[in-house]
Structure 1
Amino acid sequence: MKLKRTRTTLALLLSGALTFSTVPVALYAEPTATLQDQVDEAYSTLMTYTQELEYANNQLFQVQEDLSSIQEQIKQTESDIATKQAELEEGQAALSDRVSVLYKQGGFNLMSVVLGVSDFEELFSRVYYANKVAEQDAALVNSVKTTKAELEEKQSALAAQEAEQKQLVSDQEAKTSEVQTKLSAQQSYYNGLDSELQTQLAAEAAARAAEAAAEAERAQEQENNSDGGSTTDTTTGDTNTDANTPDASTPSGGTSSPSTPNTPSNGGSDSTVTTPDPEPEPEPEPEPPTDTGNTDSGNAPSGVVDVALAQVGKPYVWAASGPDSFDCSGLTSYAYRQMGISIPHSSQSQYNLVSSKGHLVYSVSALSPGDLVFWGYGGSGSSIYHVGMYIGGGQYVHASMPGVGVVVGTLSTGGNFAGGGSPV
């Protein structure tokens, strides 16, 4: 009888749990599924703004580089002007001295030219060459004057270019700041939604647990009440109870929590993000042609992958380049810097560097560990917005985005993938 009572209690408990799984829990302002959709959408927008910020930062880096180049040209031109000014002053002084000797004290000097000549031809030759020396001095002075004037004109043009470039830098700084503001606001919005979702999920789980406990208590009371009555015909009761006892393989329902948004992969999937199971992967986009005629991705230094992997788990912070936080190009530049190699802290500039060395490849099979991998809008090499480092085995490490940080992902060469290769 004791065994039968235990089985009856277990059946009632399981039955109550099953019954509860179909009963709605407390109502919230937003259904969980709707809130999950909002979190997904907010996360997707956050990823978009992160990419936009990287692209805007690349543009800012480029106009700042252009401004620095113009300012270097201005410095060089100023130095050239100073040199020509010194040459001009020296030439003018030499010419002035010579003219003074030949003409201001003409009697004495003309006499020195005439004395000692043996014939008219020698006299003519002396006077001719004296004049030629004066003419050469004058020509030199005129040449220096011309060069100095040209340099001053160039200086004026460069000053105008500098003013224009400073305006471009200012405009791009404003654009970058605008995207940064949008990203910060979106991050706060997403954090709020995600916190609300987690709170709601926890409350629902607590409600389920409380209801299950209540059902168990009611079942126990029922059993206690049945103990006080007739104990005959227990076989039928046990048979009915067993018939209603769910099979061990029957799912209880109501125990799975909604998934958090898919982690942005910029062309792959991040395998180290400790979030709930993502939604099903979309169909892979068709890969771009891989027959580019180049299979040499360069020679990445040994050890650079280990440096990058050692940063996994550290947070994403825009414009950071280590050692405690990174953005995407900050991570790759940091890893190479530890190898004694300096590369720009800009994904676009890193792409340009790889391309300039002829190391750009588009097939995963042509990549080597330590190669940089890039993504650009439409797969364009002129619109790069993300960079990571290939680590082998079809995977790459990258500083993904705020809230995700440095992670390892699976590399896909479809969509916006713009190629990869070594910067050395």
Structure 2
Amino acid sequence: MTSPATANPLNTGRQAEVRKIKTQLSQIDQQLDVVVEEYNSASHSLNKTKSELKIVSAKLVEAEQESSQRQEAINKRVASLYRQGGLSYLEVLLSTSDLDQFLYCLELVERLADRDARIIADLKESKKEAAAYKTALVEKESAQQATVAELQAKKGNIQAQLNDRNKLLARIGREIAAERRAESRKQAQLRDKIKVSYNRGSSVSVSRGEGRSSAVGVAMGELGKPYSWGADGPGSFDCSGLTQYVYRQLGVSLPHSSRAQYNSGQRISRDDLESGDLVFFARGGSISHVGIYVGGGSFIHAPQTGDVVKISSLGSHGGYVGAVRP
């Protein structure tokens, strides 16, 4: 038996190198985790602004058309005062037989004129407000496009780091392969445990009703698919892309952003978690990760580059900040 004092220095050096590279990989993954979700959040906001801008532009066109139609109708009535034939406002007034009837008709004409004036004033104000809102949205869209462009540049830098990451992985390929085999066995055991629990209704599966708990079954079908930033299925996913995809199969629309998803339902305390709830995690003070709770303190998620959709425990991931029930 080899004692610590006579341990193979090559093995010791290899272990130190593996630990160092794993630390570097973890740092890259954390940076990517944050930037990808920043990008997803910014893209979601930009798409929302574009939708608002499209609606406001359509309303502005409608307001302009309605204003033109109203103005044309009023112009025709005014012109009738000067046309021969037919009854004009002036002819109505002059055809009255007594003072009371004349005053009544005069009041009626004034009311029509006042109504027309109010209609035109209201339409002009609506057009003015819509135009101002459109201008604000255009400015907002421009700022958000700049943010997305900046984040795309950051993603480019991260992509370069990912290339370095792959090189680092190649240096410790043997150790990583062994870890992945062990992780694969562990995932198979967890998957079987959850399937049995989900089918039999044990304590691991907290809720077995329709709706949210069905999300667990859908998510189980995505286990083992690769992580890819910006992906929302069906072949690969990032974290919020996975949760969006799963709930889309259930007819529930979620934004492709963990931060936006955090505001897409009822907040749930950790003690009240049920299967199908969304669970959120943060790095650097901002939400950057989301998964689907399956019960028993576990959740399904798309973790990071180089990994696959898998089952993890809430405690092992770290940074838990809360849960939402869509």
Indicate the TM-score class for this superposition, using the shorter chain for normalisation: 0.7 to 0.9
Letter in 1 for 2:212: P
Superposition pairs of residues 16-165 of structure 1, within 5 angstroms: 31-103=10-82, 109=88, 110-111=90-91, 113-115=93-95, 117-165=96-144
Q: Which residue of 2 aligns with 1:288?
A: none
Supply the distance in 1 between the matched residues of 2:39 and 2:301 (Cα, whole angstroms).
Answer: 22
- SS in structure 2 at match of 1:272: helix
Q: Contact (CA 8 Å) 1:271, 1:409: kept in 2 or not?
A: no
- SS in structure 1 at match of 2:230: coil
Supply the distance in 2 between the matched residues of 1:421 and 1:134 (Cα, whole angstroms).
Answer: 56
Q: Contact (CA 8 Å) 1:371, 1:421: kept in 2 or not?
A: yes
Q: Which residue of 2 aligns with 1:192?
A: 170
Q: Which residue of 2 aligns with 1:391?
A: 294
Q: Contact (CA 8 Å) 1:40, 1:261: kept in 2 or not?
A: no
- Please, which moves more after superposition, 81-90 or 120-129? 120-129
Gap change, CA 1:103 and 1:140, over 3 Å in 2: farther
Q: Which residue of 2 aligns with 1:351?
A: 262
Q: Contact (CA 8 Å) 1:316, 1:402: kept in 2 or not?
A: yes
Supply the distance in 2 between the matched residues of 1:144 and 1:82 (Cα, whole angstroms).
Answer: 12
Supply the distance in 1 between the matched residues of 2:107 and 2:38 (Cα, whole angstroms).
Answer: 64
> By how many angstroms is 1:82 displaced?
1.9
Supply the distance in 1 between the matched residues of 2:68 and 2:125 (Cα, whole angstroms).
Answer: 13
Letter in 2 for 1:367: L
Whether 1:377 and 2:283 are equivalent positions in the alignment is yes
Q: Which residue of 1 aligns with 2:308?
A: 405
> By how many angstroms is 1:397 displaced?
3.1
- SS in structure 1 at match of 2:55: helix
> By how many angstroms is 1:262 displaced?
11
**Superposed CA RMSD:** 3.9
- SS in structure 2 at match of 1:352: coil
Gap change, CA 1:36 and 1:319, over 3 Å in 2: farther
Using structure 2 for the length normalisation, give the TM-score. 0.75
> By how many angstroms is 1:194 displaced?
0.5
Structure 1 residue runs of 5 or longer lacking an equivalent are 1-17, 199-258, 265-269, 276-295
Supply the distance in 2 between the matched residues of 1:69 and 1:130 (Cα, whole angstroms).
Answer: 48
> By how many angstroms is 1:104 displaced?
5.7
Aligned residues: 304
Percent identity over paired residues: 30
Gap change, CA 1:156 and 1:417, over 3 Å in 2: closer
> By how many angstroms is 1:169 displaced?
1.8
2:269 to 338, 357, 361: 361
Structure 2 residue runs of 5 or longer lacking an equivalent are 187-206
Supply the distance in 1 between the matched residues of 2:69 and 2:158 (Cα, whole angstroms).
Answer: 56
Q: Which residue of 2 aligns with 1:420?
A: 323
Supply the distance in 2 between the matched residues of 1:66 and 1:44 (Cα, whole angstroms).
Answer: 34
Superposed CA deviations along residues 247-273 of structure 1, whole A, max 9, x for unmatched, are xxxxxxxxxxxx769989xxxxx9835
Gap change, CA 1:336 and 1:179, over 3 Å in 2: same
> By how many angstroms is 1:99 displaced?
1.8
Q: Which residue of 2 aligns with 1:336?
A: 247
Superposed CA deviations along residues 163-216 of structure 1, whole A, max 9, x for unmatched, are 22221221222223322332x123223223214xx4xxxxxxxxxxxxxxxxxx
Gap change, CA 1:68 and 1:362, over 3 Å in 2: same
> By how many angstroms is 1:23 displaced?
7.9
Supply the distance in 2 between the matched residues of 1:178 and 1:371 (Cα, whole angstroms).
Answer: 34
Q: Contact (CA 8 Å) 1:327, 1:400: kept in 2 or not?
A: yes
- Please, which moves more after superposition, 43-52 or 409-418? 409-418
Rg larger for: 1
Gap change, CA 1:54 and 1:105, over 3 Å in 2: farther
Using structure 1 for the length normalisation, give the TM-score. 0.60
Higher helix fraction: Structure 1 or Structure 2? Answer: 2
Structure of greater relative contact order (alpha carbons < 8 Å, 6+ residues apart): 1
Gap change, CA 1:348 and 1:261, over 3 Å in 2: farther
Supply the distance in 1 between the matched residues of 2:238 and 2:179 (Cα, whole angstroms).
Answer: 16
- SS in structure 1 at match of 2:80: helix
1:173 to 152, 155, 158: 152
Letter in 2 for 1:138: A
Q: Which residue of 1 aligns with 2:215?
A: 304
Q: Contact (CA 8 Å) 1:369, 1:391: kept in 2 or not?
A: yes
Letter in 1 for 2:48: S
- SS in structure 2 at match of 1:397: strand
Q: Contact (CA 8 Å) 1:45, 1:186: kept in 2 or not?
A: no
Gap change, CA 1:310 and 1:171, over 3 Å in 2: same
